[in-house]
Structure 1
Amino acid sequence: MVAFPQWQNIEHGKVLYLEGFLSQQEADKLYHFMYNKMPWRQESIVLFGRDVLQPRLQAWFSEHAYQYSGLLLQPNPMPQPISALKTKCEQICGQTFNSVLLNLYRDGQDYMGWHQDNEKELGHSPIIASISLGAERKFTLKHKDNKQKLDYKLSHGSLFVMAGEIQHYWKHALPKTKLVSEPRVNLTFRYIKGN
């Protein structure tokens, strides 16, 4: 039986943070599988008119292609362990997902800059479910209008969900840090509309 977790309402949206979403054993097993078995690639994106290597490695699984910042990610079938995680996230979120973007942050110098997940393929107010494996990292939300910031420490085996109109009014980032020397694997589940 799935417990219905408590969402936190924030201005123009809501978030959910479940620290013990996965048991220590589940999280350890999945971390080693993701770290060692995924087809990790360091992709280039267009930033301020220039091609630059992203400061992290990625893998994409979906029935659909996904495009952002000039990068086109091709369809790939989802491996069974990831598909099982997807089902678990769907039960918590009350939302169907058909795609997952994996990021490997090799240490604290790998990061994600300020951005919004607002591509048209995601729909008007997408629900994004994020699972963290490995090193704990700080995740920050910043409101576009009033500049309010919210910080969350995403731990090994945790689930963080963004919903409502967050992608319209907030940006989010995973900042660089000198305090982390271990890798982190992050899976972000989303629903992509087909062509």
Structure 2
Amino acid sequence: MDLFSAEAELLPIPIDDGELYFMQQLVLPVDNAQVMQRLLDETAWKAETIFLFGREVAQPRLSAWYGERRYTYSGRTFEPLPFTPWQLEIKRAVEAASGKRFNSLLLNYYRNEQDSMGFHSDDEPELGLQPAIASVSFGATRTFILKHKTQPKTVKIDLADGSLLLMAGKLQHCWRHGINKQRKPCGPRINLTFRLI
């Protein structure tokens, strides 16, 4: 598959039912600290709630939805804000690195070690049969965990400052992913996941 440049790595997963590509540093015109500060300042962060097991619960992080299409997950529909110029700059870099096109962006702001992402799959119908989802991280390193849906298999990847992970193929249908809370203190992290709806 002609994804990513020579700097990218195809990560092995235990079962041939998905694709993971990893790049240690996405190439941008400014350093990672400046990228993160601009995202902190220019994003309309919200404390959202979702429906989980029949009740409304607060997400353990801040988030924002941007782009060209609305998106429905966990019982909520999110109307997009228009891309900011800085988000478009990052989107162009991600598209150049991955060879994929994206029209929507979910941003998550993990303020400290107590913020997390529950295990889930990005398999909503509007994403298509085999969605490509690009995940860019800035700030503190957090461990991204994938758990197979039918096999006792787990994959852990440390997503460091400036890294880019692309999930593709059948991965969303066969695996769930998330980020746990951690005991060890850590600083803030911003994650951008680009999708095509």
Q: How many residues align?
A: 191
Equivalent residue in structure 1 for 2:5, among 3, 7, 17: 3
The answer to whether 1:16 aligns with 2:18 is: no
SS class of match (1:20): coil
Q: Give the Cα separation in 1 of the matches to 2:5 and 2:174.
A: 29
Equivalent residue in structure 1 for 2:143, among 115, 138, 146: 138
The answer to whether 1:108 aligns with 2:113 is: yes
SS class of match (2:44): coil
TM-score scaled by length of structure 1: 0.93
Q: Give the Cα separation in 2 of the matches to 1:119 and 1:27.
A: 31
Q: Which runs of 4+ in 1 moved over 6 A?
A: none
For residue 75 of structure 1, report the CA deviation from its aligned partner: 2.1
TM-score scaled by length of structure 2: 0.92
Report % sequence identity. Answer: 40
What is the root-mean-square deviation of aligned Cα atoms in Å? Answer: 1.6
**Contact 1:135 1:180 (C-alpha < 8 Å) held by counterparts:** no
5+ unaligned residues in a row in structure 1: which ranges? none
**Contact 2:50 2:58 (C-alpha < 8 Å) held by counterparts:** yes
1:26-69 CA-to-partner distances (Å, cap 9, x unmatched) read: 21111001112211001110001000010010011111111101
CA distance 1:178–1:24, change in 2 (3 Å): farther
CA distance 1:81–1:170, change in 2 (3 Å): same
For residue 25 of structure 1, report the CA deviation from its aligned partner: 4.7
5+ unaligned residues in a row in structure 2: which ranges? none
Q: Give the Cα separation in 1 of the matches to 2:29 and 2:111.
A: 21
